[in-house]
Amino acid sequence: MALHLFDTATRDVREFHPARSGTASIYVCGATVQGIPHIGHVRGALNYDVLRRWLVHNGLDVLFVRNVTDIDDKILTKAADAGRPWWEWAFKHERAFEDAYEALGCLPPSIAPRATGHMPQMVELMQRLIDGGHAYAEGGDVYFSVGSFPAYGALSRQKLDEVQQGETLAEGKRDPRDFTLWKGAKPGEPSWSTPWGPGRPGWHLECSAMATNYLGPEFDIHGGGVDLVFPHHENERAQSNAAGDPFARFWLHNAWVTLSGEKMSKSLGNTVSIEAMLRNYRAAELRYYLVQPHYRSTIEYSDAALSEAAAGYRRIEQFVRRVSERTGDVAPGLLCADFTEAMDNDLGTPAAIAAIHNVVREGNAALDAVNETAARSAAGSVRAMMGVLGLDPLDPKWVDTANADSPARHALADLVGNMLAERQEARAARDFARADAVRDRLLKAGIAVEDTPDGPLWTVKDA
């Protein structure tokens, strides 16, 4: 493969080769299911979905694990505040996340393991750490000894004397830098049995146990948001390596979605929910907005930027539909070289999407010149490239989504597409009076047409 990825551990773009020939293994930190998902949550899921699709396109079988943290302080607190059982609260919001992933076109993971289903694996990992002198039990809690692992801090570039775990300083900790593997049971809280007493897992322990359970002691890629580099991923790496597991070969981190310069988070009250977004934009348009920027670039959310992205997606969509309506079914074709080069360069989606728009412009020019062969070739290439991004306009998922709110939408698209084709033919024949007449008929029917470098773009006025 020619794919190169930025590895957080080395701070460098490195050539990717899977540990096992023909198979890529990926573990992505999924949701802590304490509340409904917002666009900051799903941005990462979409980024790793694109990575997965690109690996599949390159001929690899992909084992993709995305966990669910279904036991956590925040889950217990919010469930108690709502007067609901913690397990019901967690499952309700797990389903909300799954619905959001599905709505935005994420391929289902190979498995979505829950923390509560992997207590034996966590106990086994803690025992290995204790036996190796890297962890200790005290008063029903179990802690990882940061000082026992000289490589601690290498992933996040943390200095040992400056480490702060963000945990409450417990009496049993021998060193304030140590982090919790297991929390001893408290009255009224759920608990599981261990050799050191009943309790529940700390946040970091579960991911190491689940990743290695499904992908083995060494796997290709560990992904997550940039906010997880420390302490979560640093602690995962430390406990796994200390136990003797090579663990992840690449560490990938996607950037945040921000609002007014702040990371979107429920605690700040600046989130934009998926449900709210899909009341105003089609799911494909929202997906396009979130995958268009480079995965390591921060997205500063604004409605204007989302509207601009939606218009960009519609320009691509309308080109493919115009060709299909004029020439018949268009099968996905070959990727253009610029697209492939961009994707191989650390999933460079901005350049990849620019390459798609270039092909759209060429295809529209071919349509204007009544060169249907060239137009079909361009449309096939666009379908293939958009398919890698999970955005093929002719994918039944997006066709169905486009029609979900209005049964007449598809019929309207067909009618407008035919009229625009007539207008383009008139312009190609330099019959501008007939072209203007078609445009005026559309305008009287409430359809505004904008001529763009990528071809005509139509919208329903005041929609």
CB atoms within 10 A of CB 402: 18
Judge whether 407 and 418 are in contact, CB under 8 Å. no
- For residue 406, the model assigns a pLDDT of 44
H-assigned helices in 144-282: 203-215, 234-242, 274-277
Answer left, alpha or beta for residue 251, where phi above 0 means left and psi between -120 and 50 means alpha: beta
Low-confidence ranges of the chain (pLDDT < 50): 403-408, 462-463
**Rounded to two decimals, what is the model's pTM?**
0.87
pLDDT of residue 413: 63
Distance CA 241, CA 250 (A): 14
**β-pairing verdict for 141-144 and 23-28:** unpaired
Residues 6+ apart with CB under 8 A from 431: none
pLDDT of residue 374: 97
Q: What confidence score (pLDDT) does residue 407 get?
A: 43
- Facing residues of 62 across strands? 24
* All domains of the chain in start order, with CATH: 21-268 (3.40.50.620), 280-460 (no CATH)
